[in-house]
Structures are given as C-alpha cells and as structure tokens.
C-alpha cells in the first residue's frame, strides 16, 4: 500500500509542477522556442526521429557531448538569431555564425522513417513543420527550419522532427469560443503559426525550453540517446551503402536495357558522330538560315529526355520558347548541348545524342541519375542581335 501511495504522490507532484499551459498536452517531448516575437511551441517526434530529436534537445539543454570544447555544457541555442527568413517559405536558425555554414562541431545522418508501405511518416506537408537544414545527405548539425507552408520537394532531403502546436490554455480558450470544428481547426492553425509568421531575419532566440510530459519523456536523456543513436547510425551505414549500391546497380541495368530500345526508336544509328562522342541527327535543314553563334541570344524549342526514354522537360508543352546564349557564364550550358547547338541555323531542327561525360557527368544531378546519357531535340527559331 505504501508503494502505491508513494507512486500516487509522485504523480501529483509531477502534475503539480507542470505549468497550466502544458497540462493538457498529450504525453511526449515538446520544445518551446522563446523569441523576441513570442513563443513557438513544438511537438517533437522522438519516437520516429530519436537521433534528430535527441540532437536538438541536447543542444538546447547543454548536454550534447559532441559539441566543441568551448561550448560544452552550454545551452547552444540561447541568444542565436534567425539568420535566414524567406517569405512564404521558411524561418531558419541554429547557426551562431549566421553564414549558413555554422555547426556545433559535428555532423550526423538523416532519419527518414517510413511506414510498412514505404511512405515517409513525416513530411513537409503543412505549415509549421520543424526540419533539419543541411548541405546534402548526412550533413545535419545544429541548424533547423520551420516551414511557412507545405514544401513537398524537401521530403526525403531534410529530416522532419516536429510541428508547431498550441498550448493547453490556448486550445481550451478556442474550444470555448468556437464551436464549429472546421472554424476551430483554422483558428488553431492560425494561432500556432502566429509567431512563426511574425519572425523576421535576425530576430532572436532567447532560449529553447524542453517540456517533458509523461514517464517516457521524463526518462528521455537526450545526451545519452544522441550518443547511442549516433553509434547505431554509423554501424548501420555499411549495410545502407550496400543496399543503395545494389539498388543503383539494378536501376542502371534496367536503364541500359531501356536505353537500347529508346535510342533505336530515336534513330541514333543514323546520327553523325563527332570527335567528342556527340551524335547529331539533323531532322530539318535550312542552309540559308542564320547560323548560331556563341555571343548572341538564341530562341529555341527543345525537348529533353534521359536516354532510357524518361522525358524531363519540353518547351512545347507550355508553348514558350527557351532563350539562351551559349557563352553565358552565369547560366552555363552542358558541353554536349553547346557543341550540338553551335552546328545549327535558324529554321533547323536536330536530335542530339549526348553521352553523360559531356552532359551532367558521372554523379547524380537533380532529376538525372548517375551516368545519364541524354537525348536533346532542339529547333532554332531566332537569333538575336
């Protein structure tokens, strides 16, 4: 009986110590970013992104063991400003250098947890998503951002580990004031984003307060969790790399098979091969047309394919021609396209078969897988003065 009474007293004490504005929150981890514009409350996805959440929480509480010696034991986010704010996109913080390149002294990997159907559990599908800023795969550090809206093209590139929410007092007030469920939802969304939407570049984070609701959250020792998850991630990297390599080899094998079929369909064998490996198939000839030169604007229609038949883009779909200049240093063209376009005249149309090494290269680039040969259909419409 004494054990039960003692447990009951502990529960009463824990609940009693919880401020009223957090009392109604469901069990879990939360972060309150306190700024000069007000407070932003975030629910953290500790179960689905434990390493990322532990990183954020340990930095906030000063328990991260991997930070540089000069900031060991310090609350990392205190006094840091939002160095990047893009209207209707994101607010970004966590970089004391305010250059976009600052870190706490280490990097760690991505957590893209998926459901049984292979879909990401958390995406940039709404305003108020808390996500990691990075410079590419496995380059997370201390920088984070919060979205102003849904930004689906960031899915699978940046780890989502939380979302803005309203506190208990705010929610109870809205429940009393607004009975219509849809109107209440809209009011909640507006309120949880009010401070985020007011943040401007160089607004200040005073501190990040971590709120623990429930036994599991109270047992979450962020510094220890991050250290353990960091080791687990490193140990699993070899297996992930092998799976990625196997998947890419399978993709490339299928690509080669489809490439053979597509290039035959596009009459590659009839194209004239140049010294660089480029092949040019003239579809329409106009010997009297004005010749393409490198230093004048060119108006053209084009359709671009990966050599397996995947269509990437076509100006014909929109009806808006592409205007470019072959010697434009600010918007450089790939080598194979420059060589092929330079052989054409106004009124001529050609199909350019571009090997990857004079295209986008050996590595993956945007929508182009590694070692992607290209097929460019281009029609020269006009050459400017």
CA distance 22 to 170: 10
326 Cβ contact list (under 8 Å, min separation 6): 292, 293, 294, 295, 298, 333, 338, 341, 342
Q: Active-site positions?
A: 84, 89, 92, 134, 145, 154, 158
Q: Where are the alpha helices (DSSP H) in the chain?
A: 2-17, 50-61, 168-177, 181-192, 194-198, 215-218, 222-265, 315-318, 335-341
| DSSP bridge pairs for 375 | 305, 353
User: Could you give the count of Cα atoms lying within 13 Å of 66 in the half-sphere of its Cβ?
Assistant: 23
The pLDDT value recorded for residue 241 is 86
50-61 vs 222-265: helix crossing angle, rounded to 10: 140
Specify the pLDDT at position 12: 43
Domains annotated for the chain, with CATH where assigned, are 2-238 (2.40.100.10), 266-383 (3.10.50.40)
The dihedral over CA atoms of 91, 93, 98, 103, expressed in degrees to the nearest 10, equals -140
Q: What is the pLDDT of residue 17?
A: 62
Residue length of the chain: 385
Contacts 24+ apart (CB under 8 A), 318-321: 321/381
Give the dihedral of Cα atoms 229, 232, 233, 239; nearest 10 deg: -160
Angle at 66 between CA 64 and CA 72, to 5 degrees: 60
Supply the pTM of this predicted model: 0.68
CB of 289 closer than 8 Å to CB of 347: yes
Closest C-alpha to 300, from 380, 384, 375, 377? 380
pLDDT, residue 163, reads 99
Give the SS3 label for residue 89. Answer: coil
pLDDT per position in the chain (385 positions), as tens? 444 444 444 444 444 467 889 999 999 999 999 999 999 999 999 999 999 999 999 999 999 999 999 999 999 999 999 999 999 999 999 999 999 999 999 999 999 999 999 999 999 999 999 999 999 989 999 999 999 999 999 999 999 999 999 999 999 999 999 999 999 999 999 999 999 999 999 999 999 999 999 999 999 999 999 999 999 998 888 888 888 889 989 999 999 999 999 999 999 999 999 999 999 999 999 999 999 999 999 999 999 999 999 999 999 999 999 999 999 988 899 999 999 999 999 999 999 999 999 999 999 888 899 999 999 999 999 999 8
- Mapped to the 3 state alphabet, what secondary structure does 102-121 carry? CCCCCCECCCCCECCCCCEC
Q: Are 60 and 78 in contact (CB under 8 A)?
A: no
Torsion of CA 4, 8, 14, 18, to 10 degrees: 160
């Amino acid at each position: 009986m004494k054990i039960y009474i003692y447990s009951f007293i502990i529960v009463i004490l824990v609940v009693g110590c919880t401020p009223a504005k957090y009392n109604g929150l469901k069990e879990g981890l939360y972060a309150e970013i306190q700024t000069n514009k007000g407070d932003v409350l975030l629910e953290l996805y500790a179960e689905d992104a434990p390493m990322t959440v532990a990183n954020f929480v340990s930095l906030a509480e000063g328990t991260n063991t991997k930070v540089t010696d000069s900031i060991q034991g310090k609350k990392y986010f205190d006094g840091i400003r939002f160095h990047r704010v893009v209207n209707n996109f994101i607010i970004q913080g966590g970089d004391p250098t305010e250059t976009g390149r600052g870190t706490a002294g280490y990097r760690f990997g991505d957590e893209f947890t998926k459901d049984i159907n292979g879909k990401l559990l958390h995406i940039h599908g709404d305003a108020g998503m808390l996500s990691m800023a990075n410079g590419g795969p496995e380059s997370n550090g201390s920088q984070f951002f919060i979205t102003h809206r849904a930004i689906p093209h960031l899915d699978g590139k940046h780890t989502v580990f939380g979302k803005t929410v309203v506190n208990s007092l705010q929610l109870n007030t809205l429940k009393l004031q607004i009975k219509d469920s849809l109107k209440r939802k809209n009011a909640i969304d507006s309120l949880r984003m009010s401070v985020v939407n007011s943040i401007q570049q160089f607004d200040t984070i005073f501190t990040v307060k971590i709120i623990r609701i429930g036994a599991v959250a109270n047992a979450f020792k962020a510094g220890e969790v991050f250290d353990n998850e960091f080791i687990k991630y490193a140990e699993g990297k070899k297996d992930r790399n092998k799976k990625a390599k196997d998947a890419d080899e399978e993709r490339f094998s299928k690509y080669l098979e489809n490439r053979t079929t597509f290039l035959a369909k596009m009459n590659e064998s009839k194209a004239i091969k140049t010294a660089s490996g480029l092949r040019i198939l003239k579809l329409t000839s106009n010997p009297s047309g004005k010749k393409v030169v490198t230093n004048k604007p060119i108006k053209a229609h084009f359709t671009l394919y990966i050599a397996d038949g995947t269509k990437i883009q076509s100006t014909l779909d929109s009806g808006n021609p592409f205007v470019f200049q072959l010697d434009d240093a600010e918007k450089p063209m790939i080598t194979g396209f420059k060589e092929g376009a330079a052989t054409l005249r106004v009124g001529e149309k050609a199909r350019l078969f571009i090997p990857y090494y004079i295209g986008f290269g050996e590595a993956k680039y945007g929508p182009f897988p590694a070692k992607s040969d290209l097929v460019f259909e281009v029609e020269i419409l006009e050459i400017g003065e």
